[in-house]
Amino acid sequence: MSGPRFLLVILHWLSFKSPITLSSPSGIWLILTCGFGVAAAVYKTALYPFVARAEYIVTAVNREKDALHLTLAPVHNGFSFKAGHFAFLAIRQKGLREPHPLTISSAHAVNWQIEFLIRALGDYTQRLRDQVKIGMHADIYAPYGRFKRQPQAEREIWIGAGVGISPFISWLQDTNAQDFDKVTLIYFFNPSRAFPSAGKLRAMAEMRNVRFVGNVGDIGHLAETLREAVTWTEPQQIQISFCGPNGLLIQVRELMRDNLIPQANLHIELFELR
């Protein structure tokens, strides 16, 4: 109903005498703003449901602590995606129908199966964790995002905190990817809430010849890793990929400055899960 309500607000604005004339700079700005809003509302209500959409069914649900590992399979045709992409998930159940952005935690598979690793951080994700069941149908809108590996780097450092580890799990599972021997994966986690466990993630990393660093509590291991990296590699040739909370991101930026790693070499997910 957000689109129709927005149109009603515009009609109401046009129906009464306003101190702002439509030909004035302020009036032109309002017209342009309303025009963009109307276009967005039309796209959201009329076009968006048919763009990059596929119907899926929940095939596996794994709950642990306050996290959820969700596996879905296509009902008809799935869609292709790349490691690091995210999708909008809408479960066809009351309270779960609103599309919600989630990072895909699996690599593209021949059976078009897709997986999500979800932390209950807000109202929607808490309801999803509590209510989703095997057999439920879902609409998935995807793929989106440009969070990808940096093949030009001499050294890659991946930093994932909590559920922010999802895109890196996807990268580890990408069978077409190469040069894992130049990667260091740093996993920030709380031992009482870690999902997946540090041991499981370490095993996944070792299978791809990726160096794994588990970090509990402070950023000591990260600071040491960056100091070591610039000892063997020029700072300009180190690329850092990050997915996690903003507080940790601030600390990462500070450590990069301390080690003369350019801020342009930092690549992050641009949305937060709720």
Instruction: Answer positive or negative: Cα dihedral of 15, 21, 24, 26.
Output: negative
Mean pLDDT score, 239-262: 95
- pLDDT-based confidence at residue 133 (cuts at 50, 70, 90): very high
Say if residues 59 and 109 touch (Cβ distance below 8 Å): no
pLDDT per residue over 32-54, tens digit each? 887 777 777 776 666 666 666 89
CATH code, residues 52-144: 2.40.30.10
Q: What are the boundaries of each domain within the chain?
A: 2-49, 52-144, 155-268
**In 71-157, alpha helices (H):** 123-131
- Asked whether the predicted pLDDT for residue 122 surpasses 70, the reply is yes
Q: Is 142 left (phi over 0), alpha (psi -120 to 50) or beta?
A: beta
- Whether the full predicted model's pTM is greater than 0.85, yes or no, is no
pLDDT per residue over 140-196, tens digit each? 998 888 899 998 999 999 999 988 999 999 999 998 899 999 999 999 988 878 888
Omega before 4 within 30 of 0, i.e. cis: no
106 secondary structure, DSSP code = S
| Burial per residue of 158-189, b for 16 or more beta-carbon CB atoms within 10 angstroms, e otherwise | bbbbbbbbbbbbbbbbbeebeebebbbbbbbb
- What is the maximal distance between C-alpha atoms in the chain? 69
- Asked whether the predicted pLDDT for residue 273 surpasses 50, the reply is no
CATH code, residues 155-268: 3.40.50.80
